[in-house]
Every structure is written in C-alpha cells, then in structure tokens.
Amino acid sequence: MNENYRRVLAVYLNEIERNLETIRRELQPGSKEGDSVTYVTKWDMTKDSKNAILGGVSMMLNQTRLITMLYGLSPQNESSARNVRGALLGIRTTLYDLHPEALQGCGTLSQKDEEKLGAYIAKMLEILDRMDRVRA
C-alpha cells in the first residue's frame, strides 16, 4: 500500500475510533450524571440494545486494531491543548452568534431583555477571555 493510501487509511480509522469511543462513553453507566444545564439526556435504549451496540463497538475496535497492525499504521499524536483551544473557539463563535444584534431575524427583543442578554453574553466572553489566556 502506498504512503498516501496509508495516511488516508490512518485518518479515517481515527475518525471511526473516535465515534466508537463516543458511543462507548454514551452507554457507560453514570455517563448521564453531570453538570448539564441546558439539556437532559433521556435513557431510551433497552439493556439488550445497549449490550448489542457495545459488543459491536468492541468488535469494530478490534478490527481497527488489526488493520492498524497489518499496515503498520502509527497512532496520531493529539494535543489536549489544541482540542481545548478548538472547543473554546467554537464557544466564542456561538456566543457572538447569540448577540441580540445577530438574532434580529428571530424577531425583536424588549430593550430590557436585550440589555440583560447582552450583559450575560459579555460576562461569558469575559470568562472565555480569561480561559484563552491560560497556556498549556
């Protein structure tokens, strides 16, 4: 297999593994307990469904491991600092999109609501700025 194909294979297998790990985390006992404020996850899978999915996840991870070994693919190095920075950037973009001026197409807000919402968003951006200044 040529190097370009190996590189693409490694990237795609990494994406598959990430999604499988997301599924595994989702189905772990206690994974729904946390500090969620804006959502509640409804447990709507039977135990049999959960076990079948987890069994499939394990089998797919084993196949991924075999392909990786067969073609001598190296694991990709990931940076937790880079992942955090990416998430912070996504949060910043979303906060800018929440400004009342950006949501004018949704209708009008009272002056009071606009000021209140603007103040909360400004506070969150201020906190985000402090988080951005932290270096790994």
Six-digit token string for 85:
């920075």
pTM (2 d.p.):
0.72
Compute the distance between CA of residue 66 and CA of residue 72 in angstroms, rounded to an integer.
Answer: 10
Distance of alpha carbon 99 from the chain centroid = 23
Closest to 97 (Cα-Cα) out of 87, 109, 105, 85:
105
In a 3-state reduction of DSSP, which class is residue 67? helix
Q: Model confidence over 6-44: pLDDT tens digits?
A: 999 999 999 999 999 999 988 886 665 667 788 877 778
Go through the chain and tell me how many residues it has: 136
